[in-house]
């Protein structure tokens, strides 16, 4: 049996690698611990050990050869047969805030992790919008360009 | 509005502000130019309270400390109102508020601008120490305390000096001093939310009402815990000092409450543990340049600068620009909270630093 914090750092690092967000941005959602606990509740320790061993390998590879690490990710983490689609489950968890029991099967078979996971889902900042009913951008904000576009000179 | 002004003018203390007495009480405010400089300081004081209030506010975890959250939020909203009211007064006498300049942005920990340097204000999480500092900021002036244009003991005494100077220079200047471009004035169409009211200032009575609104919301009417919102047709509300005292004491005031006695109304839950454990006085200098926390902090500061730019333009001839500031204010909140969820060191988290960046 693994202890409750083993793989925590790897989880954060592979989450960043799989979502394209920086670890510090993922920490800023306040969801890292919640999602890590969700993994531990839904996946057996043996399967987690295997997944994180592969994750450590890919992350180490990425230090020296990013392209090779990407190829390895596609072939070893993204296939339907890879760790029962755990890589996809992690991506969906971060982007949608839901746990998909079988992401390769019925797409409706998911549960909302908690209320905060809706608010902090990465799909909102990715689309430069906000979760309806939460993180409201203020009265009249619809009349101006999204803040980040204006502030940080992002080219659309 | 007119009724309020008449009521104010009817009050004894304003009747007594005849030319000679006002001149004596202006203290070192020696010219209209100097008066404008003091109003700029007033704007800076109002603004300097906001980063500490907002930092404590945003450190409260979602769904906890509902009373304290609403209290600090309502105070912060009114400080924003006071800042814009002070801009209106400065614009009314032909000044130009300078909001987006380096010297406008305070450094924390530090003293409030032009104060007597008796207490230090920092950026900290919601805590008993933070509430004690907030009580210092909003401390009511003692009855009969002198007007103080510099090295003030209380914000009320500083505004008192400004009020006397406005009266004096308006009397002795041919044509008066309220000659500013009226199109620079912001009113309730440009700002909403929070207690009190934003209104245009283009003569002495309105300037006096503006100052009284600022003071009564902050420190209370001279011998009462209540502010003047009731006169503005709003719900009865207590002044900032007493609001913070409710948090400190964990109890509400009753309608019979007085400044001399602690609040004795219903209990309120205050839980200082349901707070992000932010390391005090965050600064971008704490992080190696280019590091992830450095970048997050830099993005926060850039958003803060964009907000100050927006407000600066709004009070310098483009009132519509204040609408653009709204989403920036919300974005600052979300970025501040994200920083306070991010581990920094020794079990503490990062936080918003409110620093000047180009």
| Alpha carbon distance B47, B110 (integer Å) | 14
pLDDT in tens, B204-253: 999 999 999 998 888 766 678 887 665 555 667 889 999 999 999 999 99
| Total number of domains in chain A | 2
How high is the ipTM of this complex? 0.85
| Alpha carbon distance B275, B298 (integer Å) | 23
Q: Does residue A152 carry a pLDDT above 70? A: no
Closest CA to A52 of A81, A83, A22: A83
> A1 lies in a domain?
no
Shared domain for A88 and A150, answered yes or no, is no
Shared domain for A111 and A127, answered yes or no, is no
| Alpha carbon distance B76, B194 (integer Å) | 9
- Nearest-CB residue to B338 (from A28, A138, A140): A28
What is the average pLDDT value for chain B, to the nearest integer?
Answer: 89
**Binary contact (B338, A152; C-beta < 8 A):** no
> A55 lies in a domain?
yes
**What confidence score (pLDDT) does residue B10 get?**
41
> A85 lies in a domain?
yes
**Binary contact (B295, A141; C-beta < 8 A):** no
B residues 34-63 near A, CB within 8 Å? 62
Shared domain for A113 and A131, answered yes or no, is no
Are β-strands B343-345 and A110-112 bridged in parallel, bridged antiparallel, or unpaired?
unpaired
| Alpha carbon distance B83, B301 (integer Å) | 20
Q: Residue B119, class by beta-carbon neighbours within 10 Å (0-12 exposed, 13-18 middle, 19+ buried)?
A: middle
By mean pLDDT, which of A40-44, A104-108, B341-345 is the weakest? A104-108
Shared domain for A87 and A16, answered yes or no, is yes
> A58 lies in a domain?
yes
Percent over 70 (pLDDT), chain B:
89
Shared domain for A153 and A78, answered yes or no, is no
Q: Shortest Cα distance from A128 to chain B (angstroms)?
A: 12
Judged by phi (left if over 0) then psi (alpha if -120 to 50, else beta), residue B309 lies in: alpha
**What confidence score (pLDDT) does residue B16 get?**
41
> Predicted confidence band at B268 (pLDDT cuts at 50, 70, 90)?
very high
pLDDT in tens, B36-84: 999 999 999 999 999 999 999 999 999 999 999 999 999 999 999 999 9
Q: Which chain A residues touch B if contact means CB-CB below 8 Å?
A: 22-25, 27-30, 116, 135-141, 143-144, 146-148, 150-152
On chain A, the residues whose CB falls within 8 A of the CB of B330 are 135-138, 141
Alpha-carbon distances of A53 from A12, A15, A49, rounded to whole Å:
14, 14, 6
> Predicted confidence band at B15 (pLDDT cuts at 50, 70, 90)?
very low
Q: Does residue A108 carry a pLDDT above 90? A: no
Shared domain for A112 and A138, answered yes or no, is no
Mean pLDDT value of segment A39-60:
96
Helix (H) or strand (E) holding B55: helix B50-59
> A90 lies in a domain?
yes
Q: Shortest Cα distance from A9 to chain B (angstroms)?
A: 13
Determine contact, residues B150/B28, Cβ cutoff 8 Å: yes
pTM of the complete model: 0.89
**Binary contact (B341, A27; C-beta < 8 A):** yes
Q: Does residue A156 carry a pLDDT above 70? A: no
> A142 lies in a domain?
yes
Shared domain for A75 and A149, answered yes or no, is no
Shared domain for A20 and A56, answered yes or no, is yes
On chain A, the residues whose CB falls within 8 A of the CB of B343 are 27
| Alpha carbon distance B198, B189 (integer Å) | 9
Domains of chain B: 2-278 (1.20.1260.10)
> A74 lies in a domain?
yes
What is the average pLDDT value for chain A, to the nearest integer?
Answer: 90
Question: Which segments of chain A does DSSP mark as H helices, in order?
Answer: 8-19, 23-28, 32-42, 45-64, 66-76, 86-96, 115-119, 123-126, 147-151
Q: Shortest Cα distance from B38 to chain A (angstroms)?
A: 32
Shared domain for A86 and A100, answered yes or no, is yes
> Predicted confidence band at A114 (pLDDT cuts at 50, 70, 90)?
very high
> A60 lies in a domain?
yes
Instruction: Note down the domain range covering A47.
Output: 8-121
Shared domain for A33 and A109, answered yes or no, is yes
> Predicted confidence band at B326 (pLDDT cuts at 50, 70, 90)?
confident
Q: What is the DSSP letter of B108?
A: S
| Alpha carbon distance B303, B285 (integer Å) | 18
């Amino acid at each position: 049996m693994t202890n409750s914090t083993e793989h925590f750092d790897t989880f954060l690092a592979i989450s960043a690698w799989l979502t394209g967000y920086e670890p510090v941005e993922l920490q800023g959602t306040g969801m890292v611990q919640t999602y890590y606990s969700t993994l531990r509740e839904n996946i057996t320790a043996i399967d987690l050990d295997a997944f994180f061993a592969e994750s450590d390998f890919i992350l180490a590879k990425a230090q020296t050869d990013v392209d090779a690490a990407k190829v390895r990710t596609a072939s070893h983490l993204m296939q339907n047969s890879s760790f029962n689609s755990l890589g996809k489950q992690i991506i969906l968890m971060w982007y949608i805030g839901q746990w998909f029991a079988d992401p390769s099967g019925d797409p409706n078979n998911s549960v909302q992790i908690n209320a905060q996971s809706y608010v902090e889902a990465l799909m909102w900042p990715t689309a430069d919008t906000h979760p309806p009913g939460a993180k409201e951008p203020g009265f009249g904000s619809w009349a101006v360009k999204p803040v980040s576009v204006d502030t940080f000179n992002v080219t659309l | 509005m007119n009724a309020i002004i008449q009521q104010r003018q009817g009050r004894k203390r304003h009747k007594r502000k005849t030319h000679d007495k006002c001149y004596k009480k202006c203290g070192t405010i020696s010219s209209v130019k100097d008066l404008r400089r003091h109003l700029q300081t007033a704007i800076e004081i109002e603004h300097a309270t906001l980063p500490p209030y907002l930092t404590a506010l945003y450190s409260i975890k979602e769904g906890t400390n509902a009373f304290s959250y609403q209290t600090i939020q309502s105070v912060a909203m009114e400080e924003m109102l006071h800042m814009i009211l002070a801009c209106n007064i400065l614009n009314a006498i032909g000044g130009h508020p300078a909001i987006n300049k380096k010297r406008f942005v305070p450094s924390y920990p530090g003293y409030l601008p032009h104060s007597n340097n008796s207490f230090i204000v920092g950026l900290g999480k919601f805590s008993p120490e933070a509430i004690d500092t907030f009580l210092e900021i909003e401390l009511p002036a003692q009855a009969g305390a002198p007007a103080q244009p510099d090295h003030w003991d209380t914000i009320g005494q500083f505004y008192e000096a400004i009020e006397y100077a406005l009266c004096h220079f308006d009397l002795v200047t041919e044509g008066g001093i309220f000659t500013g471009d009226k199109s620079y004035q912001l009113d309730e169409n440009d700002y909403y939310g929070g207690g009190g009211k934003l209104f245009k200032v283009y003569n002495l009575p309105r300037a006096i009402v503006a100052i009284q609104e600022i003071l009564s919301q902050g420190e209370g009417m001279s011998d009462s815990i209540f502010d003047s919102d009731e006169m503005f047709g709003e719900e009865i509300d207590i002044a900032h000092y007493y609001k913070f005292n409710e948090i400190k004491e964990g109890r509400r005031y009753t309608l019979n409450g007085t400044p001399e006695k602690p609040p004795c109304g219903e209990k309120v839950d205050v839980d200082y543990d349901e707070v992000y454990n932010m390391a005090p006085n965050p600064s971008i200098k704490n992080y190696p340049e280019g590091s992830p926390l450095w970048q997050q902090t830099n993005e926060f500061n850039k958003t803060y600068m964009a907000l100050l730019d927006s407000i600066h333009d709004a009070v310098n001839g483009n009132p519509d620009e204040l609408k653009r500031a709204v989403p920036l204010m919300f974005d600052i909140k979300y970025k501040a909270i994200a920083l306070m969820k991010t581990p920094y060191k020794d079990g503490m988290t990062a936080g918003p630093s409110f620093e000047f960046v180009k």
